[in-house]
Chains A and B, each alone.
Chain A
Amino acid sequence: MPIVKFILSRTWIWSWVAAAGAFMMVMALTQGRGASELAYAALSFGAFAAIVGLGQMLVITLGPGNVDLSIPATMTLAGTLALKTMGSDPNTAILGFTVAIGVGILAGMMNFALIYLLRLPPIIATLAASLIFQSIAIWSNRGLRIKPPEGLADFATGRTFGLPNVALVGLGLSILVWIVLERTVFGRWLLAAGQNLRAARLAGIPVEFVRATTYITVAVFASIAGFFLSSFSGGAALNMGQEYLLTSIAVVVIGGTSIAGGMSNVPGVWGASLFMFLVVSMLNSYGLGAGVRMMLTGTIIIGIVIAASTRRTRA
């Protein structure tokens, strides 16, 4: 059956299967109660992971060694500065959003400047930059606990057509990324640079422009996630980005994007983001302690990576 073959040949299908599996496991325990609530929560929390995951995916697509470790710091900085600017005043949501985007653009430019001008490996460059972003966030956040403006908080926690607004934002960004990757010249450039940087450069592709744009995009995505996350959770906190460093890389790999670069997978990032949330709620609902939960999460991630690699070698 060609349809089945087509579906099975998509690498993103596995992350969705895994997410559905985790969903079923929770439902088996609750005998089907709370299905819509769980799906709603998964979409809300998964959206943040998906947004930062999309950015990380673009960077990883650039090829081996490319990864952004400054995502958590950028999220925190964007959330902190945006909330500080808005100062809980109503009707300042647009202003705050602009500040967040500005932080993202500056952070991305700083990262790329270190990579390009100082020839630093991206891991070290984004790591060093993240220390500086963190300091700025600590300095500007001192003892402040500013609530987001009411309208913005309502938007971040609210829903439209039964879907969480943050999930709709994430969906919009995903469609944008998908169109850019699959239907534009820039997307082709990005994939070409990821597959073979030297060949891409010799073919006349402005690879440094592509890399700069990608590093700025990941920082802007992190800022958007940070902006909505701080509005969603009633204020910015210095550790709010922490868990997204691991999450952003994990969802990219589980979603079927090649860690060797040159191949992106947008739907997979969503499947993996939902899966990451659902696994935690599954382990939670089975009443496991924090330690066991972490251990199983790690084992599952490694298991999926091994499964994906054996599939790759067979194909």
Chain B
Amino acid sequence: MIRLFATHRILLPVVSLAVLLAATFYMQPRAMSYFGVNLLFNLAVPIALATVAQMMIIMVNDIDLSLGAFVSLVACVTATFLHDTPVLGVAILAGLIVAYAGIGALIHRFDLPAIVVTLGMSFVWGGLAVMILPSPGGAAPTWLRSLMTVKPPLLPMAVVAAILIAGLTHLLIMRSGIGTVLRGVGGNATSVVRAGWPVLRLKAGAYGLAGFFGVLSGMALVGLTTAADANIALRYTLLSIAGVILGGGEFVGGRVSAVGAVIGALTLALAASFLSFMRLSPDWQIGAQGAILILVLTARLIFTRRDKEQS
């Protein structure tokens, strides 16, 4: 049993989510419906996209502390330019993705600490967001709003979206040739260079992918909230890092899991709903999220350690 968990790293995130979901349904049986599940996981869609973005960066052994500010900026652009002048809006969002790739290239070219550069970039993104939208406001483009509130048959939109995101990124990162090389950059950059790959371009590519998913995250968020604010997604930075780790990813070595990251994001989003169902005083909600994080990671430690002892 323990062996099973240790060899299949994806099992632990899945079980964590299942246990939390079962506990939520037990506390609040009415949540066990099409509508209820959609409410529970609605806000998980942008978090899952942000977590996938963070995963791209962690995959190449870096960490992105600017993601929350970036998603906020995208949300501001979506609620203003993309709504008022769609062509200009698309151009700006494309420009932001290119900028992200550029940062990746810069970090690799000068061998800069990613933690510091992204920290600086969080000021830049935050400043731009404040300039675009000094006070909360804006409006979601109609098509985006209807996309985020669509009601597919059988499964709620949030679940369908999560499965789609997990499936597509899994294909991209775990199955495709380029995904394998990208993970190789995190595993051993030197050997990737020796094999004749341009690491500078690969790293820029990983950052570009992160920017792409960051843009999707901001757009999905505006589709749900219908308005934006310069600080709307600042907490995504920490949520996305925690989501990647919860999903079985590691900070070094290119060991990440796309499906795990999405499940980790769903777990974090569900934790918030679960705690409010528990009638826990709001004072303790943030702390309880920290405790859940510690709990899951403790479970992981137990499994990996037992495995080492046995083998």
User: What residues of B have a CB within 8 angstroms of the CB of A291 in the complex?
Assistant: 127-131, 134
B132 to chain A minimum Cβ distance, whole angstroms, is 8
Contacts of A249 in B (CB 8 A): 115-116, 119
| A128-B283 contact, Cβ under 8 Å, with A123-B241, A249-B116, A298-B121 | no
Q: Are A67 and B113 closer than 8 Å at their CB atoms?
A: no
Known: A128-B291, A250-B120. 20 other contacts (CB 8 A): A69-B238, A118-B298, A124-B241, A128-B242, A128-B290, A128-B294, A131-B289, A132-B291, A135-B285, A135-B290, A246-B123, A259-B113, A289-B130, A291-B130, A294-B123, A295-B124, A295-B127, A296-B127, A297-B127, A305-B116
- Would you call B126 and A294 a contact (CB within 8 A)? yes
Given contacts A119-B301, A139-B283, contact A298 B111 (CB under 8 A): no
Query: Is A142 located at the chain interface by the 8 A CB criterion?
Result: yes
A290–B130 contact, CB under 8 A?
yes
Q: How many residues of A contact B (CB 8 A)?
A: 46
In the bound assembly, the distance between CA atoms of A127 and B239 in angstroms comes to 10
**In the complex, what residue of chain A is closest to B230 when comparing beta carbons?**
A291
Using a CB–CB cutoff of 8 Å, the interface residues on chain A facing chain B are 65, 67, 69, 114, 118-121, 123-124, 127-132, 134-136, 138-139, 142, 246, 249-250, 253, 259-260, 289-299, 301-302, 305-306, 309-310, 313
**B283 lies within 8 A of A138 (CB):** yes
Assembly CA distance A130 to B290 (angstroms) = 8
Q: Which residue of the partner chain A has the closest CB to B124?
A: A298
- Distance (whole angstroms) from the CB of A122 to the closest CB of chain B: 10
Q: A124-B241, A292-B131 are in contact. Are A301 and B120 (CB under 8 A)?
A: yes
CB within 8 Å for A123 and B63 given contacts A128-B294, A299-B120, A299-B124: yes
Decide if B113 touches A305 in the complex (CB within 8 Å): yes
Closest approach, in angstroms, between the C-beta of A187 and any C-beta of chain B? 23
Q: Which residues of B contact A290 (CB under 8 A)?
A: 127, 130, 134
A sample of 15 inter-chain contacts (CB < 8 A) reads A127-B241, A131-B287, A142-B283, A246-B122, A246-B123, A289-B130, A291-B128, A291-B131, A295-B127, A295-B128, A298-B120, A298-B121, A298-B126, A301-B120, A302-B121
B112 within 8 A of A: yes
The 3 closest A-B pairs by CB, nearest first: A135-B287, A298-B123, A131-B290
Interface of B is mostly: helix
Min distance, Cβ A277 to any Cβ of chain B, angstroms? 15
The proximity string for B residues 278-311 relative to A, scoring 1 for CB distances below 8 Å and 0 otherwise, is: 0001011111111101100110010000000000
Note all chain A residues with C-beta closer than 8 A to B110.
306, 309-310
Q: What is the chain B residue whose CB lies nearest that of A307? A: B110
Instruction: State in angstroms the CA–CA spacing of A294 and B293 once bound together.
Output: 32
Which B residue's beta carbon lies closest to that of A246?
Answer: B119
Contact call B120/A124, Cβ cutoff below 8 A = no
Inter-subunit contact B301/A118 (CB<8 Å): yes
With the chains together, A253 CA to B115 CA distance in Å?
A: 10
Query: Closest CB of chain B to A189's CB: distance in Å?
Result: 24
**Which parts of B208-256 form the interface with A (CB within 8 Å)?**
238, 241-242, 245, 251-252
Taking the closest CB of chain B, its distance from the CB of A37, in whole angstroms, is 26
In the complex, are the beta carbons of B238 and A127 less than 8 A apart? Answer: yes
Partner of B290, one of A67, A119, A132, A259: A132
CA distance A259 to B114 in the complex (A): 10
B16 CB to closest chain A CB (Å) equals 15
| In contact, B286 and A135 (Cβ under 8 angstroms) | yes
- Cβ-defined contact, B123 with A295, below 8 A: yes
Is B117 among interface residues, defined by CB-CB distance under 8 A? yes
A99 CB to nearest chain B CB (Å): 20
Chain A's nearest CB lies how many Å from the CB of B170?
23
Q: How far is the CA of A201 from the CA of B247 in the complex (A)?
A: 32
- Cβ contact within 8 Å between A250 and B116: yes
Q: Is the CB of A124 within 8 A of B297?
A: yes
User: CB-CB < 8 A to A138: which residues of B?
Assistant: 283, 286
Complex formed: what's the CA distance from A286 to B206 in Å? 38
Closest to B287 in A: A135
